[in-house]
Structure 1
């Protein structure tokens, strides 16, 4: 008993010693609760939420009744319970009808978003959807359609109609993989599809509601930018200024990704920070040059208000997506700190921004944008805070800007590298060099020129700003193409297990946020996470949820059963394997000639992939040691295990290992976004 009391006293003193440094842990605890909600295999019901509410209330009452070191742990539990509840509330608020069958027929709706798909096709998102012979209660609120037919000049707010294919949002391409159904749930997308038919205008654009006027202004600004700056440079400029990436070609995108410069396309904290910083500096210097004003008003605070206004305009013009909202919140917290005479760049400011983002969009914690943004920002502030307090020799004045850029790029790159590798399975070996010669140009030329173009646009003189902006962006694209063309410019890594990123994040946060020598303990979970990652094993056999593709692991990498078709699935499988081959190269690993029936012997079974009705007509029997995968309904005589298209609709994609078969439905559990009825193919033909 005495030992227990001593332990409690020691723990209380340790936690009391952290007072004044505990607030940055608040979003960490909130995120743990949010992560707990999303990790559950079954959707929690009302008693579960009630239990968390009671637990949080008890802990809050205990913390208020007995303030002290241990009260910090009680508040941590309160925040975790709150995060769990916020995530559940957000998931239920996002609920909307989801198409639960394959549909072909007339599709009508209002244009609310325009972008491009991975296949470089124009993609339109519609709301106020009308589907032929579908009751209003069963219609999705939003659908997204890729346009593979004749070119269409679409405008925001325009009501259009076409004939196309729609289906429910696709599940994970492999068990435990990225769940597009969950992503679509929070985006409000109830169906996705494509059309090869012409698009007809039903009604002209209606811009007086739902913020479509801003959307129309963005698209008009994007068009004007691309008129002045043609090609990929114009598409890059439009992406930076309006968030419209539809003008950037696939070759340029690949080069930017391979050189680790793709983050410059997204309107992120870098762009928002550079814009706000430029406006803040210009306003402060301009006002300081007027003694009559400088002596009477707080110039610094006026400049902060002006910079905040400029950031808000940028937020509106860029479309206000999740990444841009996050960037604006972080910049707003910094500028508001200036207004209340607090240190602008501190871990408290980052923590406040993270809390706001997590409260507004709890699901953001699962995405690479949130993770990379806050990883880089937290690491930079923690590092430069340590550098400020450390007793190190001071660099000469001329060297400080150079060292600042070098250290900033290195620290941000190291902080975000594990997140990027985990989500995208790639490492840019020369990314640091590419960023060192590109990012400074964003601050000294591209963003100031963009601000100048915005100010001159009302007078029709925006070209005076856009042309210099184009020079800077052309340089960045040139760097991207040069770096991506170097031998070994890009490496590939296999996807990690589910525990790896949380272990790395918690270890690094402990290292940066905890005070005292005990912070070094944070290195241990990071090292353990990388050790687990290095031992990650990929499934021996993968099967697409349509039965349209099979991948078998060989000594040379994964062999794919088809060189074409199901490209999205193939690309994701190979990326998760850490394999740099394309689909055609991976298909060449499959033995035998290409055909409608592909056979490969493995250590446990012989895999037979039946492709289409032609392949099904060639197969009538099977043996016990065979596993037959078919993209169409199939009936065979024999004791084999058959996964045809009907069965795969129930199971989802498959991962087969020595331990057995894991289905996507088993891995994903039964959640709000995947518990709708099993899809049935129904066709509502246009009469």
Structure 2
């Protein structure tokens, strides 16, 4: 009996292979046994971690819910994985032979279904349908939140009110322009006040073009049913006090910081203290993004870690001054508790946004590991933090914040666990200067690896990414962590006694140096890489390769380079679409044959429209009017544009006016065109050779990206399915 392995034991891989291969009742079972034995051997050699891969499967289930089009598909997805799990349990493959295989199936298969069910339930609980159509009028509601945005010259209010169409309770977000005298003023409506306001409310906008930002999805999970801009100063009908002391403290602290500093320094200091980014000038914010320093402007891991780390070290050193305490009490436990309280308080003060909560959870796990004497930064800690965030906010998986945060930490942990890095950092007898150079080289290597890991994410979501981010972060992170944040914190403490002015002066110069680094790096030649909208397939190859590199051990992790390189090649070969059409049909962009200039149908007063067209085309600079396209002919009603691609000329007919056109003339013009684009409804007699994109079509498809050479048309509707935030017209 002693020689028999218990079912729960994990025998040696070579024993598993031998035992399975000797069991040969008949051919199909022998083939299955051999395959399972090889797979078991692979999992054992590669140090398969069930918990980490279960979290990956949980995230994959969430991603499947976003990708699959309808409830029927979601049900089929969940049912299929549960059936497979039940099949594994019923078959009961010998657990003592296939321990890793059996546990993988029992943990990964249900996680794939659980992820889909979690985000589905979250959508059903918090999602709110948008208003049916744009509406203009005077409304009454209670202010839930007020956000000051002096850099944009406005305040932003979140208001609870009744839907003008059906009377249901909804939440809307409205902007209050500076001309109404509310910005930088404490006299405006605060959280809890009941106000009467005149505004034009719009349903949250879907993506303007395929691959563009999906505000409608964000609004759905935020419970926002409409957005708009106030047309008159709101009238306070009733004073309220339901806003909460914490929100008032946050707003007051932001105002105080902006009063103590001037210019761009004030906005960045307020962002570091309270997470309020409304005071950051757009040119400074863009420079920080292009330099790879945008993470410094949002309260995330760096800021929470700095606050918790400073509190931990300070409390530990102060308690260690007492010999009685040092001999009788586990000081790291007390210091960890103080750091945890500081981290939770800082998270609540800064608004408890998802990135901050995510960072706080990770930091608390690190503190727990330190208190228990365990390894503080590990894949297990990362998996627990990711699971907690995905369980509470599964929709964050689709956003860049979650992907960049956990991608960066996974890159750090994966690099730190690599054998060559361990040998490079191993203690040795050497001069202090040589040791310092080794650690400096490691910092540069870590920054480079993080940038390589995050660049595809930045290109996928923002269509641009900084190239010199590793160098910029080597300079900016120590400056922010060890100079700027301590100076700002010290100044706030000294302000209690009215003695913070000298420290604010130093903090202002330190922040000015940080801004200078961002502008200097962003202005370097080739500092920014701009790409057209990346296909989801190429992005998933990057993600799959990165997860493989980070989660496996040994040489098998290098297999992850294959999908990563494949994604790189697809990205390098990606060409911008030839024609871009917004969902309302009013804005059309044409890319020249060289892919260097963008021609637009009309000038837009909205920088949002222009920026979207340029980003999705993968270009910078100012667009050119379509009249200047070679061979284009335009009048007040239409433009005819010849576009040559692969030895063929495509003829485009684009509407630009609203006047009535005789139907016969329009039908004759359509007969000569390959593609017709219009922001109006066109009659059935208009029949172009290939594509008719009028108001009726665009209401169903949303914006279009057209590749003429391949004949491919990508639509916004393709990526929306029957999710609640997508409401195609008829």
Q: TM-score, normalised by structure 2?
A: 0.84
Counterpart of 2:191 (choices 153, 156, 172) is 156
Q: Tell me the residue number matched to 1:277.
A: 309
- Residue 465 of structure 1, CA deviation: 5.0
Q: How does 1:519-668 map to 2 (within 5 A)?
A: 519-555=557-593, 556-583=596-623, 591=632, 597-603=638-644, 605-613=650-658, 621=666, 622-626=669-673, 627-633=675-681, 638-640=686-688, 643-645=693-695, 647-658=697-708, 659=711, 661-668=713-720
Q: 1:279 to 1:565 in 2, by over 3 A?
A: same
SS at match of 1:106: strand
Could you say what the CA RMSD is over the residues aligned between the two structures, in angstroms?
A: 3.1
Q: How does 1:271-670 map to 2 (within 5 A)?
A: 271-386=303-418, 389-390=422-423, 394=428, 396-398=431-433, 399=436, 402-456=440-494, 458-461=496-499, 463=501, 466-555=504-593, 556-583=596-623, 591=632, 597-603=638-644, 605-613=650-658, 621=666, 622-626=669-673, 627-633=675-681, 638-640=686-688, 643-645=693-695, 647-658=697-708, 659=711, 661-670=713-722
Q: Is the 1:31–1:83 contact (alpha carbons within 8 Å) kept by the matching residues of 2?
A: yes
Q: Tell me the residue number matched to 2:254.
A: 222
Distance between the aligned counterparts of 2:539 and 2:444, measured in 1? 26
Q: What CA deviation, in whole Å up to 9, does each residue of 1:299-337 have, x standing for no partner?
A: 111111111111111101111111111111111111122
Counterpart of 1:99 (choices 121, 124, 131) is 131
SS at match of 2:658: helix
Q: What CA deviation, in whole Å up to 9, does each residue of 1:410-458 have, x standing for no partner?
A: 3322221221122222232333322222111112112222333454455
Q: Tell me the residue number matched to 1:193.
A: 228
Q: Unaligned stretches of 5+ in structure 2? A: 1-26
- Residue 370 of structure 1, CA deviation: 0.7
Distance between the aligned counterparts of 1:672 and 1:397, measured in 2? 61
- Residue 376 of structure 1, CA deviation: 0.8
Q: Is the 2:82–2:113 contact (alpha carbons within 8 Å) kept by the matching residues of 1?
A: no
Distance between the aligned counterparts of 1:452 and 1:276, measured in 2? 16
- Residue 7 of structure 1, CA deviation: 2.1
Distance between the aligned counterparts of 2:251 and 2:636, measured in 1? 46
The structure number with the bigger radius of gyration is: 2
Distance between the aligned counterparts of 2:402 and 2:470, measured in 1? 21
Counterpart of 2:83 (choices 43, 55, 76) is 55
Q: What CA deviation, in whole Å up to 9, does each residue of 1:216-248 have, x standing for no partner?
A: 211110000000011110110001111111111
Counterpart of 1:40 (choices 51, 68, 72) is 68
SS at match of 1:631: coil
Q: 1:52 to 1:157 in 2, by over 3 A?
A: farther
Q: What CA deviation, in whole Å up to 9, does each residue of 1:262-293 have, x standing for no partner?
A: 22111111111122112212221222222222
Q: Tell me the residue number matched to 2:152.
A: 120
Q: How does 1:15-30 map to 2 (within 5 A)?
A: 15-18=43-46, 21-30=49-58
Distance between the aligned counterparts of 2:400 and 2:254, measured in 1? 26
Q: Tell me the residue number matched to 2:200.
A: 165
**Which of 656-665 and 287-296 deviates more?**
656-665
Distance between the aligned counterparts of 1:405 and 1:281, measured in 2? 22
Q: What CA deviation, in whole Å up to 9, does each residue of 1:6-51 have, x standing for no partner?
A: 2222222332445574332232111111111111022347854762
SS at match of 1:437: helix
Q: 1:636 to 1:504 in 2, by over 3 A?
A: closer
Distance between the aligned counterparts of 1:143 and 1:62, measured in 2? 53
Q: TM-score, normalised by structure 1?
A: 0.89
Q: Is the 2:129–2:220 contact (alpha carbons within 8 Å) kept by the matching residues of 1?
A: no
Counterpart of 1:10 (choices 38, 49, 52) is 38
Q: 1:342 to 1:619 in 2, by over 3 A?
A: farther
Q: How many equivalent residue pairs?
A: 673
Higher relative contact order (CA 8 A, sep 6+): 1
Q: 1:55 to 1:470 in 2, by over 3 A?
A: farther
Q: 1:50 to 1:507 in 2, by over 3 A?
A: closer
